[in-house]
Structure 1
Amino acid sequence: MQIIHAKQALTPTGWQSDVEVTLDAGGRIAGLGPQLRAPTSRVALLLPAPLNLHSHAFQRAMAGLTEARGPDPKDSFWSWRRLMYKFLDQLSPDQVEAIAALVFMEMLEAGYGAVAEFHYLHHDVGGVPYRNLAEMSERIVSAALTSGIGLTLLPVHYQFGGCDLRPLNGGQQRFGNDPDRFMRLHTDAVGAVALGAGDYATGVAPHSLRAVNPEGLADILGQAGSGPVHMHLAEQVAEVDEVFSHLGARPTEWLLDNYAVDDRWCLIHCTQMTEAETAALAKTGAVAGLCPLTESNLGDGIFNGTTYMGQGGALGVGSDSNVHISLFEELKTLEYSQRLRDLSRAALATKDRSTGRVLFDAAAKGGAQAGGRDSGRIEVGLWADLVGLDDDNQWLCNRQGDAALDSLIFGGGGKSCVRDVWSAGRHVVKEGRHSRRDAIVSNFKTVMRQLETNI
């Protein structure tokens, strides 16, 4: 049993002072109340550790390599995508596992407690299946176990190169499956996850309306069980135009007209939606999976956050390409995008909650929902996904309540304040440092030396 004493903690009933949180041997919160016993850990500020709801772990190895201007003067997401496919021609299973372990470690050190890995790198170079269809899924599970992060694995179905059903080519071939083979792969991936930690889960991810046709989408959803469903939606203008040209409707409009989208769904990006589409999506109960740092890096556009949250929409954040893994920077970038677009301040704040409180509450709740994970609150019976922070520093200055959250998110030192992180009770970050940092970083650096001559 672990006993945490917190000077202040954010609980479902609001801020509480001098709190004792007890964790049982199975990794769940067993008690919450006043401080009565000797603690095993002390923290100044205790928060639920959100789930990072969207990650492509392997792309972390590309960070910083796509910032030069390409041959097209209108460099865009699509030129970044071409380089990503070239990069894919280099990666082995061992390398993918080492990269993912680093990514998951960095997420934990940033204050995330779990991750939903949107996993589409299934096959060998040229699209040749491994003898074990779930080889790469097993590597993601192994990396999660190495880091101690909570995991929702989302095997991705990716069949076509566009709405015109053109075949995959180049690096895309490593993603590809027809529905029958994908379901075999998915079954094997579920088995791999079942051999992981007890808090691990599985969902399904039809990649997008460009990569999966309507028939394939229906097949996958009909066979994939009751876990989370994640899909890229309305990320780029060119994507919206392509879907409209082939399906006769914009992506969000088409999906909502053809499927009973509900709280099982997480729609990623949604940066190209009309006001009407934004309000309609909010009313479904689905989570909008936002990745503001990657969306900024790729020039995707700005999510209609004020309209969406004004309609009661659920949202969470993820690190997507993992170009920069920072929970608090994701939240700040989301808010600042609304201010820049609308020439406003405190765009997402409400009458009773500050901007930082609104953002953090949304990320914790929406991430847990998107991952199908019993977490997101400091509450008895839930997984003990917790982040402990130091407040006696130049960023927080011992501030209380919502002011502390605002300072974490907007003061620039949020990541530096992270001292302890528990994932399903696993105390993996202590004094701001992951317990296996040295070995994980060393393995990653070895992989980067192997790759640097070929990129």
Structure 2
Amino acid sequence: MQVIFARRARTPDGWKQNVRITCKGGVISTIEPDSTAQADDTRVDTLLPSLANLHSHSFQRAMAGMTEFRAAGKDSFWTWRDLMYRFVEHISPEQYQAIAALTFMEMQEAGYASVGEFHYVHNQHGGQHYDNQAELSEQVFAAACQTGIGLTHLPVLYSYGGADKAELNGGQMRFGNSVETYATLVESIRKSAEQTLPVDTCVGIAPHSLRATCPEDLAQVLHLAQDKPIHIHIAEQPKEVSDIQAWLGARPVEWLLANTPVSDQWCLIHATHMTGAETQNMARSGAIAGLCPITEANLGDGPFNGVAFLANDGAFGVGSDSNVCISLSEELRTLEYSQRLRDLGRNVIIPGEGSVGDVLYLGAATGGAKALNRNAGRIETGALADLVAIDSTSPALCALREDQLLDGLCFAANGTVVTDLWSAGRHQVQSGHHINRDQIVTSYKAAMSDLLASI
């Protein structure tokens, strides 16, 4: 059992003062406002429900800064993808673990208590399976154990190199599985997770995209989800939209909604290029929009239809995707700023009047938890103790009223305001730093030295 005493805490009923929270078995058991701190309590300034990072490819963290040189011709998502494929061919299992551990640690220091790891690197160089088919997933598990982050693992079905069943080639060979080998992989991963990871761990499924699978295969694998999350990349790029339309006779989101049982079990990643009707229908389906604004800006994807989606009561969360920059506050403000740049206005994503920071932060907390199948995203008895503490006396926040703190966190602050973080009650960030930071950073630097020497 552990007890947290917060000068203030944001609950579903609003701000509460002098709040004493007891956690047992990773779950919030009591919440006592207007209390007095006891000697052994962990004291913090301002306590918030922590966000879930709902979409990550952790290995891409090792590429950050390597793809920002303009070569001859026009750079795009597709030229970036070619560089990523060449990079991923060289990563060893041990290096994968070190990279994932650093990525997860940085997420926690930024304020994320959990992660949806959209994991598609399964095979050896050239496409041969490891003797243990779940080898690389187990490296992710080891990184999750080292960091204590809450993990929703999403093994990816990636069968084709592009729309209309194009063959896999190059770096894609490390991703490939048939429906049959994928089913075996998911079963193996779930057994391993049950044996090695905390009870708050979840293993869902992730058909990579319509272009990397096909309608028949997609229909066959959906039962593997059971009652766990289903995540899929969708409509990220105009070329993807046109390729799918030419092949399947409908735009990606249009086709998915018409041909699969999309519900709140689903998380549609990006969904950047949608018509008004698609936006409305996706919101009404209950599916979570998995938005990755920093990556979507970095890759030149374009802005999500956020204003229309929220106006139709759509649910959303945020993720760091390529992990080029892991910053919770920057992810949220980039989402709003993308809408402002498109619409030439201010404070535009919020339906009606009120605090934009509240809508962004609390909306992402609720939607992200739902997308990862975590009973979290709120400070409430019975919920997982996914909690983050920030310092309201920091220069970025000290001039703000209590009702402005989430606006300040989203638009004026950075990760340095995070003082503490709990992932299902595991107190992994203390005084602004992860408790295993030194070991994780040392291992990462050694892994990167070896990796770069092999490329």
Common fold by TM > 0.5: yes
Q: Deviations over 1:141-166 (max 9, x none)?
A: 11000001000000000000112212
> In structure 2, how many angstroms separate the alpha carbons of the residues matched to 1:20 and 1:49?
17
1:43-442 map, 5 Å: 43-71=44-72, 73-195=73-195, 196-351=197-352, 353-397=354-398, 399-411=400-412, 413-442=413-442
Q: CA deviation at 1:352?
A: 5.4
- Verify the 8 A CA contact 1:289 1:315 in the aligned structure 2: yes
The AA in structure 1 aligned to 2:233 is H
Once the two structures are TM-superposed, the CA of residue 269 in structure 1 deviates from its matched residue by 0.4
Q: Report the Cα offset of residue 452 of structure 1.
A: 2.0
Question: Which amino acid in the other structure matches residue 27 of structure 1?
Answer: G
CA distance in 2, matches of 1:359, 1:176: 36
SS in 1 for 2:340: helix
RMSD after superposition:
1.1
Give, as a single letter, the amino acid of the residue that structure 2 aligns with 1:312: D
Question: Aligned to 2:285, what secondary structure does the other structure show?
Answer: coil
Match of 1:21, SS state, is: strand
**Counterparts of 1:169 and 1:351 in 2: how far apart (Å)?**
49
Further displaced range: 333-342 or 6-15: 6-15
In the aligned structure 2, how far is the partner of 1:325 from the partner of 1:270?
Answer: 21
TM-score by length of 1: 0.98
C-alpha distance in structure 2 between counterparts of 1:351 and 1:404, whole Å: 20
- TM-score normalised to the size of structure 2? 0.98
What is the rounded CA distance, in whole Å, between the counterparts of 2:90 and 2:187 in structure 1?
Answer: 27
Are the counterparts in 2 of residues 294 and 319 from structure 1 also a CA contact under 8 Å?
A: yes
Contact 1:49–1:112 (CA under 8 A) maintained in structure 2: yes
Alpha-carbon separation, structure 1, partners of 2:361 and 2:71: 37
Shift of 1:398: 5.6
Deviation string, structure 1 residues 314-364 (Cα, Å, up to 9, x no partner) = 000000000000011000000000001001111123455300000001110
CA distance in 1, matches of 2:274, 2:262: 16
Question: Percent of aligned pairs with the same residue?
Answer: 53
* Unaligned stretches of 5+ residues in structure 2: none
- Structure 1 unaligned segments of length 5 or more: list them: none
Query: 2:54 aligns to what SS in structure 1?
Result: strand
Supply the distance in 1 between the matched residues of 2:274 and 2:402 (Cα, whole angstroms): 34
Q: Which moved more, 1:222-231 or 1:324-333?
A: 222-231
1: CA distance, partners of 2:225 / 2:393:
48
- Could you tell me how far apart the structure 2 residues matched to 1:158 and 1:171 are? 12
Displacement, 1:190? 0.7
Farther off after superposition, 229-238 or 219-228: 219-228
The one-letter code of the counterpart of 1:257 is: A
Equivalent position SS for 2:106: helix
State the distance in 2 between where 1:416 and 1:224 align.
38
Deviation at 1:453, TM superposition (A): 3.2
Q: Deviations over 1:217-247 (max 9, x none)?
A: 0011023311000000000000000000000
Q: What CA distance in whole angstroms lies between the structure 2 residues aligned with 1:164 and 1:453?
A: 37
Runs of 4+ residues deviating >6 angstroms? none
1:153 and 1:193 in contact (8 A); partners too: no
